[in-house]
Structure 1
Amino acid sequence: MDYSNDAKQIIADVGGDKNINTLIHCMTRLRFTLKDESKADGAALEKMGVVIKVMQAQGQYQIVIGNKVTDVFDAILKQLPRLATEDGQAAAETVTTEKVVPQGFGAKFKHGYDEFIGVLTASMMPIIGVLAGSGITKGILAGLVSANVLSDKSGIFMLINTMADTIFYFLPVILGFTAAKKLGSDPIALAIIGAFLIHPNIIGIASAKVPEIGLWSGFAVKVMNYSGSVFPIIVAAWLGKYVEKYLKKAIPEMVQGIFVPILEIIILSFVLLLLVAPVITVLSKGLANGISALLSFNGIIGGAIYGAFYPILVVFGLHWPLIPIVINDLAVTGQSVICALTSITAVGIAGGVLAVAIKTKKKSLEALGYSAGVSAFCGIAEPSLYGILLKYKRVFYMVMIGNAVGGAVAGGMHLVIYGFTGSLIGFPSFINPKTGIDGNFTAYVISHLIAFGVAFVLTFLFGFNDKMESSDQEA
């Protein structure tokens, strides 16, 4: 996008060229030092589509832009080249918001959670568009197969479906690169660590009857399938900056270029295998068993809890152990409760992000909301989750309520699915293959409409407005 007109208006609204002493930027904000801040028109600035919020702090006049801040900064420099001094450029690359150390366990936990979500969403934002497009493509393919227009055994289906699947399969590689750039570690080293996690040898071990590998003296470590995972590589990127700092102190400068990257790859790969993977494996299995037990005990309560918290499981990669349970249920009984409830969560998420798209006046957020909503209707919720829900927490809460209500209704009506594809595009999977359209399909329509409707209405009325600052602004 061309931000020259936005730059011109920002310059005018902060009091003009003669009112600006210096300009620098951080990850999300333009930071002006003005001769007279009273000459700046904050109300006019906040009406601009590119501006999220205006703040005055730390002796600076701060304009929150978001992840396009560098583009806007460059556009301003083109019009005011005098600001592009060597000192100004150096400060623009290194300035950060002053950290306030939180006091108390609750405050520290919230601070850490906000930091994690900020890094996660900032790392995902560069690929949200591709995720949404891939989700829509997979949905169209599923629809064509359901309508018997295309065979899932045909060559064209295989090629296009593989293209759409690629972004999800190689997610650890891509996130390794983007997260490293956000956190200040080596992007190439982290991309290689992501590739290691999905190397055929690792996938092969994870698929074996005993998914573990022996290391030394009878000691073995569990190995899991990391394809499509998010959390482990984010942890590696965070640890990477500390590992690099230590290695650069310990290794002579003349050989750092050779030994620092490979040692970082080896160290972080072992950390993921020895610490992160076992923790996620234990948590995942425990959650899978707990969810199965809860659904068996009480469908209404179990459906509500599952619907509300399933998106959180996706964020931490704890949803993968549910897939074997779904596959086993479909193979043995021909139907699945868990997959049916997962379908509801995607539709509820679509309701939330479409409400944001309709309500916002920001063109970029509107476009993201519509594309992510369509992708969620096709069963792919990641663009909505990382592009909007995690950035705007209140939207996430409204969607959780909508999914909880829809899940409770589905549990009370004993909803099941007869295939693997759900959400809106997978409606044929809810038709009973023996009796055709029956009470189960009615339960599908009612539960999904309720989840969508509740999430949409709550988000539209209470969950979002354009004055909200997204959670990754100070990541």
Structure 2
Amino acid sequence: MNFELISKELLDIIDSRNIDNITHCATRLRVNVKNINEIDTTRIEKVEGVLGIVKQGNTLQIIFGPNVQQVYDSFTLLYGADNPEIKTSDRNNNSKSKENLFSRALSFLAAAFLPTMPIVVATGLISAILNILVLTIGLSTESPTYTLINAIASTGFYFLPLYVGYGCAKQLNINPIYGIFLGAVLLNQSINGVENLNLFGLPVVATTYSYTALPVLLGVIIMAQTHKFIYNKIPSYLKDVLIPLIVIAVGTLATLLIVGPLGVILGDWMTDGFVFIHDKIGWLALGLVGALFGFTVLTGTNKALVPIMVTSLATQGYDTFLIPAMLGTNIAIATATLAVAYLEKDPIKKGTQLSAGVTGLMGISEPSLFGVLINDRKALYGSMIGGAVGGILAGITNLAQNSIVSGIPGLPTMVISIPPYSGLTNMYWGIAVIVVSGAVGFLATIFLKKRGQS
């Protein structure tokens, strides 16, 4: 795939003069534009690698799946070469005014957490592999090998404030080192969870910041606002000295004295809320998520779930709500697409549908959703039925997963030996969710489409 050629085609269609800002999430290139009606989306759909397009306000979301990072790098490089006089901060300021508050918040959360995803995925897989080694070859949990691998895996979540701090600062257009520094301060052994600290008599609430994301997120926002407020008020010959000092002092102290403890409390409430929902109406809640998750992907609101899932994984080590429910949805979306391909007579359409369905089985649902299901309501309903059944089964069996993956979902990431889960039972139920949701999604789509033909 020639990413430079793809970028040139996109820039030619969109027109660099129409662009305000460029960002990306895990699968989509997000281009904020001045006038979205001037863009010929049918031409964009024909560009190599494009899996679908979503318009949201003045934001054009172009779906590239796992290739989005390479496209983003090439596209921004080409755009910057054509427009060297336009600063990133200026583009961001222009675009923000044209998005509603909810969309801006979702975009911010997605961008802030995006850099953490490789770590979350990798360490989750390492943890799962370690658990499998304990079960299959009898690796002792007291052995030096287990201790070393477990330390590597736990690092992914223990130091979460560092990763989120970096992503948040980068998104807010301040030096990412500020975010890393704030995360490091919160994790300092002289501060993290230490009792009886105070600042000139002002009490510092003893709070454990490891495995958390919200405190550093709020703290970096304060840093960014402080930076913005003082930047033009300080003489140029003092900027290099005073700006870092003031930003770090205000951001760090505000976090330790106020927003840090508040962030931990809010994070705990959020986690407790989802645990409460799971405990009270667990199987029904998972069924609803399984049925409706596809709509969150279609609308782009699925990124609001990422912080919730990461928080759950960080605090509990596993998730028994959102990720297991999404497992059935991903499979049902894929098999519903394969059902459409099974009934399709046109060989060209069948090939496209088969490709989208197989890609969906690998955990990337956008080609199925935007290429097939969005134009086939019966197949979309079939995928919802399969996702709902899979979610209900996951809820009834209390299925747990310990990683968010963009790959074959579920099997390599089942929690199989973390208390209260033991043995291979959890993995077996995971396989059952995959099989059942996939079968129901396929058969429901066949039934609905044939019923509509009769």
TM-score class, shorter = 0.5 to 0.7
Q: CA shift at 1:255, angstroms? A: 2.3
Residue number among 256, 281, 289 corresponding to 1:301 in the alignment: 281
Q: CA deviation at 1:372?
A: 9.2
Name the CA shift for 1:239/1:458 in 2 (closer, same or farther; >3 Å): farther
Question: What is the aligned counterpart of 1:73 among 65, 72, 75?
Answer: 75
The correspondence for 1:95, drawn from 86, 91, 96, is: 91
- Alignment CA distance shift 1:345-1:249 (3 Å): closer
Q: Match of 1:6, SS?
A: helix
Q: CA deviation at 1:409?
A: 2.5
Residue number in structure 1 paired with 2:41: 42
Is the 1:350–1:452 Cα contact (8 Å) retained in structure 2?
no
Return the TM-score normalized by structure 2. 0.61
Partner residue, 2:372: none
Residue 141 and residue 256 in structure 1: after superposition, are their counterparts in 2 closer, same or farther (change >3 A)? same
Instruction: Find the partner of 1:214 among 198, 207, 212.
Output: 198
Kindly provide the amino acid, as one letter, of the partner of residue 4 in structure 1.
E
Pairwise CA distance, 1:3: 0.7
Q: Distance in 2 between matches of 1:405 and 1:114?
A: 30
Q: Cα offset for 1:179? A: 1.7
Which residue matches 1:29?
Answer: 31
State the alpha-carbon separation in 2 of the partners of residues 147 and 431 from structure 1.
Answer: 19
Q: Which has the higher contact order (CA 8 A, sep 6+)?
A: 1
**One of 292, 308, 321 as aligned partner of 1:315:** 308
* Contact preservation (8 Å) 1:406, 1:450: yes
Whole-angstrom CA distance in 2 between matches of 1:322 and 1:74: 36
Match of 1:119 among 100, 108, 116: 108
CA contact (8 A) 1:123 1:179 kept: yes
Corresponding letter in the other structure for 1:349: M
Deviations 1:159-211 (A, max 9, x none): 33323332322221122222212111231122101111111122341xxxxx5
SS in 2 for 1:178: helix
Aligned length: 377
Distance 1:173 1:426, change over 3 A: closer
TM-score using structure 1 length = 0.59
Write the distance in 2 (CA, Å) between the matches of 1:279 and 1:21.
42
SS in 1 for 2:141: coil
Deviations 1:250-296 (A, max 9, x none): 4433222122213212211222222223324444666777788888x
Shift of 1:84: 4.3
Note the residue ranges of structure 2 that are not aligned, 5 or more in a row: 23-29, 290-303, 339-351, 366-383, 404-409, 446-454
Give 1:90 shift: 2.1
Match of 2:5 in 1: 5
Q: How many angstroms apart in 2 are the aligned matches of 1:426 and 1:84? A: 47
Equivalent in the alignment of 1:380:
none
Deviations 1:195-239 (A, max 9, x none): 11111122341xxxxx5533344x533232222322222222322
Change (3 A) 1:184 1:153: same
Q: Kindly report the root-mean-square deviation, in angstroms, between the aligned alpha carbons of the 2 structures.
A: 5.5
1:247-266 equivalences under 5 Å are 247-266=230-249
What CA distance in whole angstroms lies between the structure 2 residues aligned with 1:215 and 1:53?
A: 52
Structure 1 unaligned residues grouped into runs of 5+: 78-82, 103-110, 206-210, 327-338, 374-396, 463-475
CA contact (8 A) 2:215 2:259 kept: yes
Deviation at 1:139, TM superposition (A): 0.7
Alignment of 1:402-421 (within 5 A): 405-406=392-393, 409-410=396-397
SS at match of 1:262: helix
SS at match of 2:86: helix
Between the aligned partners of 2:315 and 2:7, the Cα distance in structure 1 is: 49
Cα distance in structure 1, aligned partners of 2:439 and 2:223: 40
Amino acid at match of 2:85: A
SS at match of 1:274: helix
What amino acid sits opposite 1:145 in the alignment? V
Look up the match of 1:170: 159
Residues 427-446 of structure 1 show CA distances to partners (whole Å, capped at 9, x for unaligned) of: 3568999xx99xxx5x9966
Distance in 2 (CA, whole Å) between partners of 1:99 and 1:75 is 22
**Which shifted more, 448-457 or 171-180?**
448-457
> What SS does the aligned partner of 1:220 have?
strand
Does residue 189 of structure 2 align to residue 226 of structure 1? Answer: no
What is the match of residue 147 of structure 2?
158
CA distance in 2, matches of 1:222, 1:280: 12
Pick closer, same or farther for the CA change 1:244–1:428 going to 2, 3 Å: closer
Q: 1:355 touches 1:460 (CA, 8 Å); kept in 2?
A: no
Aligned-partner residue type, residue 195 of structure 1: A
| 1:293–1:239 Cα change, 3 Å | closer
Identity %: 20
